[in-house]
Chains A and B, each alone.
Chain A
Amino acid sequence: MTKTIKIILSISLILFFQIGIFPHLKIFGVYPNLILISIIALGILRGFKETLIWAIIGGLFLDFYSFNSIFGISLICLIVVSFVAFFIVQNIFKKTNSSSVALIFLITVTLYDLLLLVFYKILGIEFEFTFVKLIINVFYNAIIAMPVFYALKKLFPSRNI
């Protein structure tokens, strides 16, 4: 129970930074998604089992602070990307370094955006998509993700890395 409360408090803090600070970092209409970055980082560092509860709470917050008419889309996407991040670490990059971590972020952030796009298309939600914006978003998130990853690595030392 206390663990869940700690997670809720931590994600709340991430959310406050996301709402208060990150909109000012807007470049070409995109800014990093700190909740997404943190969940992927935890997926790499601590594995899927531990990240699942973070992904559920983080996904709920993302959904509350989104404009979607369908509740839960971000939550499902977040769970899938945290699993994929863990899967890549376990099966592809057995020895991770900065470049492999950056590559995992590039892959998973792209996957997250594409999953959202697929959900929006299937459910008929209007969504503005441009390839250029997707590329900028993916690289911008991956760049910001690196310091976030190493900060989280200190707070949540990895079992594998």
Chain B
Amino acid sequence: MSFKVSKKYLVIFLVLILGLVFLNLFPKPAKALENFIFKVFSPVQKIFIRTGNKISDFFQILISIKDLNKENAELKQKNSDLEAQLTQLKEIEKENETLRTALNFAPKNTSLYEIASVVGKNIQGTEEWILIDKGTDDGVEKNMAIISEEFFLVGKVIEPNKDFSKVMLITDKNSLVAALIENRRNEGLVQKEEGSDKIFLDFIPKTEKVEIGEKILTSGMDNIFPRGILIGKAESVDSSENQLFQKITISPAVDFNKLEQVFILKNK
């Protein structure tokens, strides 16, 4: 067995290490190059992301073709329920507006939504994040909340660059979201389960009998995510004796693999 590494390679390796140390100490050139690469690649990446989603949808349709009729009927029912709810909400909004005028209240500070396209994704599998095509030049700041087109919680901005921002998904191991169970108002924290891909709601007392399918919403207590954004639904409840609180596994409302466009909530 021969083990010879020529001097030339050692020099290249050393120069590389020194270069990397320099780029970490003075990150501006690396950030500028990163921004440039994202800018050049993002149009093609969008096409690949869309194509990937279409291929995935096609195979999912093939797999679930049997259940389509049932699902269709369920969706029709859901749609009419939602329409009814919408009408009610419009009425409430009107009433609210009238009361505001009567009481001379200033309108509630509404958030600014900015649409952004997903132009990149985590490629190493160690972290859960996406890249969006809006950055500091568009007014994006660290910790701004990101929601899907359907207004479901996606994550928060963690690394804003000039024209792009990296968004940490709620499925990342470092993500923490203050949340509550709809109608119950018990508050807890949503985080990733260690060693699995699932997210769960923690700190809910065992005395609360949580039903499967109950909605988990943001509580707004973390001052990052506004109150009332849907995170997902309770998938399973673990209230084993060796735990202080029950552990509610959540099935996220968003399919993170298929995100193409998101909203940035500019008003934190």
Asked if B11 is at the interface (CB within 8 A of a chain A CB), the reply is: no
Mask: chain A, 14-28; 1 = CB below 8 Å from B; 0 = not: 011111111110101
Which residues of B (96-145) have their CB < 8 Å from a CB of A? Answer: 120-127, 129, 131
- Number of residues on chain B facing chain A (CB within 8 A): 51
| Residue in B closest to A132 when the chains form the complex, CB atoms | B195
Which residues of B (34-56) have their CB < 8 Å from a CB of A? Answer: 34, 37-38, 41, 44-45, 47-53, 55-56
Q: Which of B16, B17, B34, B47 contacts A64 (CB 8 A)?
A: B34
Query: Judging by beta carbons under 8 Å apart, are A21 and B123 in contact?
Result: no
- Interface 9-residue window, one of B19-27, B71-79, B207-215: B19-27
| Residue in A closest to B158 when the chains form the complex, CB atoms | A67
Q: Which of A28, A35, A128 contacts B123 (CB 8 A)?
A: A35
Chain A interface residues toward B at CB < 8 A: 12, 15-24, 26, 28-31, 33, 35, 48, 52, 56, 61-62, 64-67, 70-72, 74-76, 79, 83, 87, 90-92, 116, 126-128, 130, 132-133, 137
Asked if B166 is at the interface (CB within 8 A of a chain A CB), the reply is: yes
| A29 neighbours in B (Cβ, 8 Å) | 125, 196-197
Asked if B173 is at the interface (CB within 8 A of a chain A CB), the reply is: yes
Query: Judging by beta carbons under 8 Å apart, are B48 and A16 in contact?
Result: yes
A28→B197 CA distance, assembly (Å): 7
A135 vs chain B, min Cβ distance (A): 13
Q: Which of B52, B122, B174, B196 contacts A24 (CB 8 A)?
A: B52
Query: Judging by beta carbons under 8 Å apart, are A130 and B195 in contact?
Result: yes
A151→B33 CA distance, assembly (Å): 31
